[in-house]
Structure 1
Amino acid sequence: MGSWKNQVRARLLLRDQREKHPYEGVFTSLSQLEERSEIRQQFLEEVQSNSSEGGVNVRLLQLQLRESERLAEKLSQTVSDLTTVLYLKDAELQHWQSRVSRHRQEALTLAKGGNALKATLSQQEFTIECQNKELAALHVEQKGLKEALSQAWRDKEELLQRWMEEKKQEAARLNKYNDAQERWQRLARHLRKHLCREVKKDGEPIASSP
C-alpha cells in the first residue's frame, strides 16, 4: 500500500514543479520590484528631506513619485495575481488531498477484503486438505473392499467347483446304484422266469410274485 502513496506523492511534486516553473520569473520580478520600491521610498524620503532645504527640482520629484506609484500598482497587481494563483493551488491541493484520502480509504477497504479472502482461501485449503485425507482413506478402504470382494468371488468359485464335483460324484454314485438296481431287477426277472419254467416242468402251482 506504501507504493501507491509514493507514486501519488511523486506525481504531485512533479506537477507542482511543472506548474510553478512559469511563475519563477514572476517571483523574481516581484522581488526586484519590491527592492526598487524600497529604493524609491528611500529616495523619496531623501528628496523630501532635501526639499525642506530648498535644493531639489520639484518636477523631477513629481516624475519619480508617479513612477513609484506605477511600480506600486504593478506590484499590487502582481501580488493580487499571485494570491489568486495561490488560492487556486490551495483549492487544487485540497482536491488532491481529498482524492488521496478517498483512495486511501478504498485501499484500506480493499486490504480488508483481501485479508478476508486470504482467510477464506486458507479455510478452503484446510478443507481441501481434510477432504484429500478422507479421499485417501476411502481409496484405501475401497482397495481393501475390492480385495475382499475378489477373495469372496474366488471362494465362491472354489465352493461352486467343489459343489459341482460333489454333485458329479453323487450323480455317479446314484447312476452306479441305479445300474446295480437295474442289474438286480434283471437278474430277479431272469430267476423268476427260470423258476417258472422249472415249476411247470414239475407240475407245481406257481406262486404269484409280489
Structure 2
Amino acid sequence: MASWKNHVRARLQQRDNTEKLPYVGVFTSLAQLEERFEIRKQILDDVQPKSFERGGSEVGKNIRLLQLQLRESEHLEEKLSQTVSDLTTVLFLKEAELQYWQSRVSHYHQEALTLARGSNTLKATLSEFEFTIECQSKELSALRAEQKRVNEELTEAWREKEELLQRWMQEKREEADRLNKYNETQEGWQRLAKQLKKHRLGEKRKERVPIVTSSRSGETETPTSVIQRINNTTDVHQGPSDHSHVSAVAKV
C-alpha cells in the first residue's frame, strides 16, 4: 500500500527538479521586473503632463528621466524603510519570543533539576526497597525451610501417634480377649457349681442320713453345714466373675 505512494512521491519530486526548480530564479527576477515596471509606469504617468507643459524636448527628457529616477529612488527608499520597519518589528517579536523561550528553558531547567533530585531520591528508595526485599526473601526461604522441617516432624509425630494408637488398641483387644476368656471360664465354673449344687440338693432329698462324714478332717457335719459350704463356694466364684466381666466391658 505504501510502495505506490512512495513511487508517486518520488516521481513528483523528480518532475519538480526537472521542470520547476530550474526556473525559480527566473520567476523571482520576472516578479521584481514587473514590480519595477509598474512603479515606473505610475511615475511616468505622473511626470508626463508636467513635462509637456514646459515644452523642451531634450531638457524635458532629462527632467523626466531624473524625476523617474528620483521617484523610483523614493519608492525604493519607502520600500526599504517599510522593510526595515517590518524587520525591526520582527526582530522585536523574535527578541520577545527568545526571552519567552529563555524563560521556558530556565523553567524547564529548574524542573529538570527537581526531577533529577526526585529521581535520585527514588533511586535511593528503590535501592532500600530492593535490599529489604532481598532480606525478606532470605527470611522467607529460611521460614519455608523451617516450615518444611516442622511439617516433617509433625508428620513423623502423627505417624508415631498412629503406631502407638494401633499398638494400644491391639493390646486392649488382646486384654479384652483374655478377660472374655477368663469370664467364659468363670461362667463355666459357675454353671458347674450350680449343677453341683442342684446335684447335692437332689442327693440331700434322697439321703435320710442326718450325719455326713467329712473326707478331709474326719469330722462329722450336718447336711445344713454342707449346703452352706457349697453356697459359699458358689458365691466366691460368682463375685470375681462379675467384677471381671464389668471391668472387661468398661475397657473394651
After TM superposition, the score normalised by the length of structure 2 is 0.49
**Do structure 1's residue 112 and structure 2's residue 117 form an aligned pair?**
yes
- Separation of aligned partners in 2, 1:184 and 1:134: 73
Q: Which residue of 1 aligns with 2:31?
A: none
> How far apart are residue 201 of structure 1 and its match?
2.1
Match of 2:131 among 126, 131, 143: 126
CA offset digits 1:6-50 (Å, max 9, x no partner):
xxxxxxxxxxxxxxxxxxxxxxxxxxxxxxxxxxxxxxxxxxxxx
Secondary structure at the aligned position of 1:203 is classed as coil
SS in 1 for 2:207: helix
Q: 2 CA distance for matches of 1:149 and 1:118?
A: 45
Does residue 155 of the first structure (1) align with residue 172 of the second (2)? no
Deviation of the 1:100 alpha carbon: 1.0
The alpha carbon displacement at 1:124 in A equals: 1.9
Percent identical pairs in the alignment equals 62
C-alpha spacing 1:82/1:206, structure 2 compared with 1 (3 Å): same
SS in 2 for 1:147: helix
| Inter-partner Cα distance in structure 2 for 1:82 and 1:177 | 133
Q: Secondary structure at the match of 1:163?
A: helix
Residue 82 (structure 1) shift: 5.0
**SS of residue paired to 1:161:** helix
Matching of residue 172 in structure 1 with residue 177 in structure 2: yes
| Alignment pair present for 1:100 and 2:94 | no
Cα gap change, 1:85/1:191 in structure 2, threshold over 3 Å: closer, same or farther? closer
Give the number of aligned pairs: 148
Match of 2:223 in 1: 206
Q: Which has the higher contact order (CA 8 A, sep 6+)?
A: 1
Deviates more, 1:129-138 or 1:155-164: 129-138
Q: Does 1:146 align with 2:151?
A: yes
Q: TM-score, normalised by structure 1?
A: 0.57
Question: What letter matches 2:207 in structure 1?
Answer: K
Q: Any unmatched runs of 5+ in structure 1?
A: 1-62
The one-letter code matched in structure 2 to 1:113 is G
The counterpart of 1:184, out of the listed 185, 189, 192, is 189
The structure having more radius of gyration, on CA atoms, is 2
Residue in structure 2 matched with residue 196 of structure 1 by the alignment: 201
Indicate the SS of the match to 2:223. Answer: coil
Per-residue deviation, 1:88: 3.4
> Which of 79, 89, 93 is the matching residue for 1:88?
93
> Alpha-carbon deviations, 1:74-98, whole Å to 9, x = none?
6994766655544433332222211
Distance in 2 between residues matched to 1:80 and 1:104, nearest whole Å: 35
The one-letter amino acid paired with 1:203 is V
User: What is the distance in 2 between the residues matched to 1:113 and 1:101?
Assistant: 18
The one-letter amino acid paired with 2:120 is: N
One-letter amino acid matched to 1:201? E
Tell me the distance in 2 between the aligned counterparts of 1:95 and 1:126.
Answer: 46
Relative to structure 1, is the Cα distance of residues 189 and 84 closer, same or farther in structure 2, using a 3 angstrom cutoff?
Answer: closer
Q: What is the CA RMSD across the aligned residues, in angstroms?
A: 3.3
> Residues 91 and 202 from structure 1, CA distance in 2 versus in 1: closer, same or farther, beyond 3 angstroms?
same
Q: Distance in 1 between matches of 2:142 and 2:184?
A: 62
